[in-house]
Structure 1
Amino acid sequence: MSKRLVALGDSFTEGVGDDDPAAPNGVRGWADRVAEQLAAREPGFQYANLAIRGKLLPQILGEQLEPALAMAPDLVTLYGGGNDLMRPKVDIDGLMVGYEAAVARIRATGARLVLFTGVDGVEDPLFRTIRGRVAIYNELVRGIAARHDALLVDLWSMRQLCDRRFWAPDRLHLNALGHTEVAIEVLRVLGVAHPLSSPELAPRELLSPAARRSQNLQWAREHALPWVRRRVKGESSGDTVAAKRPALAPVDSAPLPR
């Protein structure tokens, strides 16, 4: 069992979309849930989460890798690249050169490493447009994981995440249900028993084309346009945000699943 977990990444790992006023940065997320379960099973367990929303993969590696290695973790999670794939242009092959170098450095310390593929956005009009990019990214991640004996959480194969009920209103981030699903899968990959469970949801309601258009217009006004404005201005949602757990520290024992 691991005693020191360090999580690296962007909003996915920070926990954005899973609002919790009692949590650092006001968000909980899958990484916190995993840490809680590990802490309940391992005396002296400590956890740091360096992930910051809006970060591109080179920023994640450039800003978070060295502090993470300095903590001498025995378990590391790394996800990055989602924000890069949404940019108008991206060199995926070039991007993954730095990613693999970071993976090699982490694995050279002897730490276990958990990597992630991207989610399949087939059900969402916005993410369907970059589905091919995500598929290429995923194949490169799978190859890197295999070459460096890293564990892999295959979000693409988690078909439940194609259901919008697992996503926050902004459609960019998982909600509490979605983060719980990811935590369950991470714990499964780690071989850790836990009490977390998936929700039993009723069949999805079929919306009329008019209702879907209305929802899409509301989403565009409330979420898409502000995102585009930030891109035009060269701003990021993480510009004024600090890491929620910048140093290794103990974690409260696992609460009742929610």
Structure 2
Amino acid sequence: MTEPHPWRRYVALGDSFTEGIGDPEPASQGGHRGWADRVAEVLSAQVDGEFSYANLAIRGRLIRQILDEQVEPALELKPDLITISAGGNDIIRPGTDPDLIAAQLEAGIVRLKQSGATIVVFTGTDVGFSPVFRSIRGKVAIYNENIRAIAAKYDLIVADQWALVAIQNSNMWAPDRLHLNAFGHHEIARTVLAALNVSNDLQPNSPQPLTAARWREARTEDLVWAREYFVPWVLRRVRHQSSGDGLSAKRTTAGPVFSHLAD
């Protein structure tokens, strides 16, 4: 018989990855579902009594902003499970140092350890499959090694995206190529639950089969992507703007999970 998991109060910290961008769901708080909501849904369904979930992540946040804005509110919620994914927006910026970014993350981990909660961190995706981000693959790998060292030092759980071959596929990503789509978020949820050793019924490639785009369709999509996503992203960098400017977290208090799983 499988033992029930021990967690009753889950708080997620991070940026657009944790907010769930790329996985739109009008019925979910904030209009996006994402892997963290999916994990919370599974955890909530497996406990008798109260289970609470808060998601403090905001798209576009750099690691310093995540630590300054989210760590103390997270501690105030008294979680027994924390996930934190931070540094991705820093890594993709030219000239940033993965060692310095990791040092910032470690400082945040030291603060979060005060909660006594189980803490899950994430390695970055192996971006070798992506023509857009292939050039920073080595930088991501260095950051990942730092994350693994931090995890070993502070007894953290690692959700290993680098080894997750399933998401090294354009069909797992939203049209902007920056964020996972519903399929990708689903795979991350499965990875996190596996790292937590929580049994679940989530199946690969749910909720529907993936179809590969034909060559001509893919080239047309390249042009559309550049116009609708890449150029605006470059302009925001030039103007020192963020997609999350003026936004607040979608679940600032720890409350019940309302599942919106597809039939």
Deviation at 1:153, TM superposition (A): 0.4
Q: CA separation of 1:256/1:203 partners in 2, compared to 1, >3 Å: closer, same or farther?
A: closer
- Conserved in 2, the CA contact under 8 Å of 1:196 and 1:257? no
TM-score (norm. length: structure 1) = 0.94
Superposed CA RMSD in Å reads 1.7
> Where do 1:46-195 residues align within 5 Å?
46-195=52-201
| 1:197 lines up with 2:177 in the alignment | no
Out of 1, 10, 13, which is 1:5 matched to? 10
**Matched residues in 2 for 1:58 and 1:134: separation?**
18
TM-score (norm. length: structure 2) = 0.92
| 1:245 lines up with 2:251 in the alignment | yes
Deviation at 1:257, TM superposition (A): 4.9
Moved more, 179-188 or 96-105: 96-105
**Matched residues in 1 for 2:56 and 2:165: separation?**
28
Structure 2: gaps (5+ residues)? 1-5
Deviation at 1:123, TM superposition (A): 1.4
- Conserved in 2, the CA contact under 8 Å of 1:195 and 1:257? no
Deviations 1:23-64 (A, max 9, x none): 122100000011111111122110000000000011100110
Partner of 2:241: 235
Q: Secondary structure at the match of 2:162?
A: helix
Q: CA separation of 1:255/1:22 partners in 2, compared to 1, >3 Å: closer, same or farther?
A: closer
Q: Secondary structure at the match of 1:65?
A: helix
**Matched residues in 2 for 1:255 and 1:226: separation?**
32
| 1:27 lines up with 2:37 in the alignment | no
Counterpart amino acid of residue 99 in structure 1 = L
Q: CA separation of 1:255/1:192 partners in 2, compared to 1, >3 Å: closer, same or farther?
A: farther
Q: How many residues align?
A: 255
**Matched residues in 2 for 1:238 and 1:205: separation?**
31
Identity between Structure 1 and Structure 2 (%): 50
- Conserved in 2, the CA contact under 8 Å of 1:153 and 1:186? yes
Structure 1: gaps (5+ residues)? none
**Matched residues in 1 for 2:75 and 2:113: separation?**
10
**Matched residues in 2 for 1:211 and 1:3: separation?**
46
Moved more, 69-78 or 101-110: 101-110
> Where do 1:28-43 residues align within 5 Å?
28-42=33-47, 43=49
Superposition misfits of 4+ residues, deviation over 6 angstroms:
none
Q: Secondary structure at the match of 1:234?
A: coil
Partner of 1:220: 226
